[in-house]
Amino acid sequence: MAHQKTSGGHSAFGLRVRARVLALLVLIQIVGGVGIAIGVTISTLAVAHVSETSSLAGLGQSALVLGSAAIAFPMARMISSGGRRKALAKVYAVAALGALAAAVSVLQANPWLLLASLVVFGTATAAGYSIRYAASDVSTPRYRARVLSSMLFVAAFGSLVGPNTIDLSQSYAAGSRLDPMAIPFLLSSAAFALCSCLSLLFLRPDPIDIAKASEGGVGRASGDPVKEKALKVAVRIFRNNKRVRVGIIGIFLCQFVMTTLMVMAPLQLHDHAGHGMGVVGLVMSIHFAGMYLPSMVAGWCSDRLGTLPTLAVGAVFLGVSAGMLAVGEAGVAYQAAALFLLGVGWSFGVIASSAMLSDSCSPTERPPVQSLSDIGMSGAGLLAGLISGLAFSSLGMGGLATVCLVSLVLFGWFLMTARTAP
């Protein structure tokens, strides 16, 4: 049977249907993750290559972040009105066109067209975030955090595979007339087009429909999220729902602290401690392992111990890491341990906060609220990238880590008040 009636009168889709939809979401996450990882890896190099200057290179990453943030609320509106299936198909199709336009921009050596294309390319990141929440719609509340964590874990596969495809494309470019920088964008375009087709043709039933059948309209705030503007709905729920506030602030802070310390770690290791690029790469790999490998443990803790305690554990890990980096020890093992804990703290914090958002909203409220959290995540990364360099040059790694540690202490006080508030 595709679905069955529960005692409460709601139509609850069977486990076989949920497993099939979840398996498809995992496939889309992996394929889309490969495309995104290629863009993240090649965008800075492509902008520098086309503009023939490094002064514009950093704008490549900023363009990707801008695209992700710009599509967040329009995508929430699409999800509320037509479901996740159509929204994912549309956004991935737009991203495919953006990646194709980026390849054309490289061939035409037009840096401004390339930057505009990267903004459109960046919409794929928002689609990737939505895949994570679609999986939470498919899951039951008891296993929601573990499902979220599993999507984060498989996203790591795309991050590992994507950059390695660039080497293959460069080998192919050597025997063709295409610019080597254009081929990776063509690969990304193909990946996004496949994700769009998979979503449109096979993502049935829609994850939103599964969530509505299982949970109904319990916990809905006043007003109709389908008819209201997504931003208005998100702001209203943020103001009225304490757990939503905790979740969004938690995601923002975890992303900000992690990005602030992570982006300056290579500079600290290479320029200030005098370590070679091989050591830098090894330490950063250990950091990425901390971000993704413990994700399943973080999901289990969120489901069994609760999202608020797990978020607090993540903040503690981040605080220990910031404290270690504030001391200023330059040893490789010491720095690697600190950055590993930084990744672990981010994993625990983001997974717990994301599960908290899904648990605190009805299925119709989730899209705008989750879009607000995605914008917060993108904004935190962008803000960290903008201020970390200036703060590092004036305060050093110790001062920068101390600022992060103080912000985490304040967040800990906020969590205590949130726990005791009625």
Query: Of 225 and 2, which is predicted with more confidence?
Result: 225
Helix axes of 332-360 and 307-327: crossing angle, nearest 10 degrees: 160
On the question of pLDDT at 363 being above 50, the answer is yes
What is the pLDDT, as a whole number, of residue 198?
Answer: 97
Closest residue by Cα to residue 111 from 67, 182, 187, 52: 52
What is the pLDDT, as a whole number, of residue 166?
Answer: 66
What is the pLDDT, as a whole number, of residue 232?
Answer: 87
Half-sphere exposure of 16 (CA within 13 A, CB side): 4
Q: Is 231 exposed, middle or buried (0-12, 13-18, 19+ CB in 10 A)?
A: middle
On the question of pLDDT at 316 being above 50, the answer is yes
Q: Please write the tens of the pLDDT for every residue from 281-301.
A: 678 778 888 888 899 999 999
Helix (H, G, I), strand (E, B) or coil at 4: strand
Average pLDDT of span 96-106: 96
Q: Is 161 exposed, middle or buried (0-12, 13-18, 19+ CB in 10 A)?
A: middle
On the question of pLDDT at 234 being above 80, the answer is yes
On the question of pLDDT at 347 being above 90, the answer is yes
Closest residue by Cα to residue 319 from 287, 349, 286, 352: 349
What is the pLDDT, as a whole number, of residue 216?
Answer: 58
Q: Please write the tens of the pLDDT for every residue from 4-26.
A: 444 443 445 788 899 999 999 99
Give the range with max mean pLDDT: 182-196, 367-381, 387-401.
Answer: 182-196
DSSP lists the bridge partners of residue 12 as: 4
Residue 110 CA, chain-centre distance (Å), reads: 29
Query: Of 314 and 215, which is predicted with more confidence?
Result: 314
Residue in this structure with the two tokens 């159509």, named with its chain if needed: 86
On the question of pLDDT at 185 being above 70, the answer is yes
Other residues' Cβ atoms within 10 Å of the Cβ of residue 152: 21
**Percent of the chain beyond pLDDT 70?**
86
When mean pLDDT is compared across 104-108, 295-299, 381-385, 401-405, the lowest value belongs to: 381-385
On the question of pLDDT at 184 being above 80, the answer is yes
Strands 11-13 and 3-5: antiparallel
Average pLDDT of span 97-110: 95
pTM score > 0.85 for this model?
no
Average pLDDT of span 194-217: 88
Band the pLDDT of 156: cuts 50, 70, 90: confident
Query: Of 222 and 356, which is predicted with more confidence?
Result: 356
Contact 147, 139 (CB under 8 A): yes
Give the range with max mean pLDDT: 259-273, 376-390, 404-418.
Answer: 404-418
Query: Of 130 and 163, which is predicted with more confidence?
Result: 130
DSSP for residue 271 = I
Instruction: Count Cβ neighbours within 10 Å for each residue of 322-359 and write b for 16 or more, e otherwise.
Output: bbbbbeeeeeeeebbbbbbbbbbbbbbbbbbbbbbbbb
- Taking CA 254 as the corner, what is the angle to CA 135 and CA 407, rounded to the nearest 5 degrees? 155
Domains belonging to the chain, first-starting first, are 3-216 (1.20.1250.20), 231-420 (1.20.1250.20)
Band the pLDDT of 56: cuts 50, 70, 90: confident
